[in-house]
Amino acid sequence: MYETYFNLTERPFASVPRADHYYPASVIDAARNTLTRCIDRGEGAALIVGPSGTGKSLLCQVLAEHFQKSFQVALLASTHLDTRRSLLQAILYELNRPWRGMDEGELRLSLVDYITLNDDCGGGILLLVDEAHRLSLRLLDEIRTLTNLTRAMQPAVRLVLAGNHVLEERFASPKLESFSQRISARCYLEAFQRDETQAYIWARIMVSGGRGNEIFPAEACRMVHKATGGVPRLINQVCDHVLLLAYGAGPGNTGCPRRIEPAHVEAAWADLQQLPTPWNAPATAPSGESVIEFGGLDDDPSEMPSIAGKISAAEQDDGSADAAEKTVPPIVPAEPPLDPETSRRLRHVHRLLGDVRTEFQLAAAGPETEPVVETPHPFEEPFDEEEVIAERYSANAPARTIAASSPAPLDPALAATVTPEPGPQTCVAMDDVPSSEPSEKPLSESIRLRLDRAHGTSEPPAQAAGIDAESLLADPPRSVVPPPRIEFGRLFAKLRQKL
């Protein structure tokens, strides 16, 4: 559009990275030389780390064009990949290999077979991954496995990863320790300096058939660097928009229509960002007063005028004897009046801040130490009183006491009729469970009475079987283990059904 107006053969500032627009600035050209050496010698993987817009994608394109005759080049410009299968498909697609209708294992075998055995890939491949910081850890590990392939005693895959600072942080993960050991070069890109910005603008104008110092004078280049911070992508956007605005202005609005003025750069930046330009921001500090203020945000505002007055008086002291008599009136800034609702909210906020400050105020004396909670040893704790537990089946214990304090052993004749049922335990009614408190009758007598009723005989089953119950209770065998209470509950339930 504006090329004919400025006598240019092409658009000098493209919006996309182009290898023919490469400018050998000091930082990016040093990175290119390092990467070229690393790829030629097969030293290992390399990283390109830099902020957005500093030329990472452009450098990848320059490397791809430089090595296209030596290696099979696969440039992954888009890394929105979620699975290993999609990663392998993207690499095969860039190598012009079949990638449809295969699962992950088949894709991996096809890629390995092409890299290590195919005659078309005699020198190996150069894998350039742009925006590599978007890859997950498992995909980065999949790429690492490709660097293990060799051919003719040389690495079969030369790898370059480009991304922002997140990419370098990912390699700090212990999961990528093996991959981090394979990195032989780390190149860091940064923005242009002011003289590099001017040289870049003039070089682009000259390549496009114009004269850079006539179209973009030094004042306009300095203004471009101030607006963009030297970021190459922003320089391209601003300069292209400046040329477009100057072309739209026409010869009738400016005295020199084919010359870019600082005002054009200012208008272009404001038009692109829709914000006030940084160099037109109003000054907030007073120019006529030389006042230095010390303190933080938590200081009392009422004390600041007096401190400022003391410092101003000290600056005016010329060393004479009457310097102490000099007084400087305090500077009290004027505050706009506030409506009652705003004043009420401010008081509420100040009260809340005061409560928070009081609650979380640290102790002034002594350094801050992290509290240490020691867990006492469980066997070193002192006991208030000692509890003596008597053996339940001791021979010296009275028979009636044992029967009252613990469940009595089941009679052999009765145990023969009761078969424990497997399965989860069920709840038993409280009246079916023998109480732990002493009752009027021993538990053995109550069992004998219920068994007598069940069998319809006056002689207890234990005596009928030739077993002395009193001797059994007085000296029970050590091998007899009392059944759980749940069996008594089942037994009593059966007895109720028969009665």
> Helix, strand, coil shares of the chain as percentages rounded to 5?
45, 5, 45
**C-beta of residue 187 within 8 angstroms of C-beta of residue 37:** no
pLDDT for residue 164: 94
Dihedral sign for Cα atoms in the order 471, 473, 479, 480: positive
Nearest-5° Cα angle at 249, 275 to 267: 15
Closest CA to 23 of 182, 193, 277, 260: 193
pLDDT for residue 274: 60
Give the global pTM: 0.56
Predicted confidence band at 219 (pLDDT cuts at 50, 70, 90)?
very high
Give the CA distances from residue 497 to residues 446, 462, 490, 492, in Å, rounded to whole numbers and listed in that order. 17, 22, 11, 9
Q: What's the first-to-final CA gap in the chain, in angstroms?
A: 112
- For the chain, what percent of residues have pLDDT higher than 90? 41
pLDDT(98) > 70: yes
pLDDT in tens, 250-286: 654 444 457 888 888 988 888 887 644 454 444 444 4
pLDDT for residue 2: 82
Quickly tell me which residue has 């029970």 as its tokens.
476
* Residues ≥6 apart with Cβ < 8 Å to 57: 17, 77, 130, 162
pLDDT for residue 254: 45
Quickly tell me which residue has 């009183």 as its tokens.
385
What is the side-by-side order of every strand in the sheet holding 72-76? 72-76, 125-129, 157-163, 45-49, 183-188
Closest CA to 491 of 439, 417, 438, 441: 417
Structural domains in the chain?
A: 26-188 (3.40.50.300), 194-278 (1.10.8), 399-498 (no CATH)
Give the CA distances from residue 445 to residues 130, 172, 344, 413, 440, in Å, rounded to whole numbers and listed in that order. 91, 79, 84, 15, 10
Q: Which long-range contacts (CB under 8 A, 24 or more apart) does 65-71 make?
A: 65/19, 66/36, 67/39, 67/126, 70/123, 70/126, 71/39, 71/123, 71/124, 71/125, 71/126, 71/158
**C-beta of residue 264 within 8 angstroms of C-beta of residue 242:** yes
Q: Taking the CB of residue 331, how many other CB atoms lie within 10 A of it?
A: 14
- Mean predicted lDDT score pLDDT of the chain: 73
Pick the residue with more confidence: 337 or 321? 337
Pick the residue with more confidence: 17 or 345? 17
pLDDT(296) > 70: no
For residue 128, the SS3 value is strand
- Give the pLDDT mean for 398-426: 46
Dig out the tokens for 90 from the structure.
Answer: 């993207």
Which run of H or of E encompasses 381? none
Pick the residue with more confidence: 301 or 237? 237
pLDDT for residue 334: 53
- Give the pLDDT mean for 183-210: 94
Lowest-confidence pick of 18-32, 59-73, 396-410: 396-410
pLDDT for residue 319: 47
pLDDT for residue 481: 54
Determine the Cα–Cα distance for residues 492 and 432; give it in Å rounded to an integer.
6
- Give the pLDDT mean for 336-365: 67
Determine the Cα–Cα distance for residues 268 and 220; give it in Å rounded to an integer.
12
Specify the pairing of strand 157-163 against strand 45-49: parallel
pLDDT(351) > 50: yes
What residues does 183 pair with on adjacent strands? 45
Predicted confidence band at 295 (pLDDT cuts at 50, 70, 90)?
very low
pLDDT in tens, 59-69: 999 999 999 99
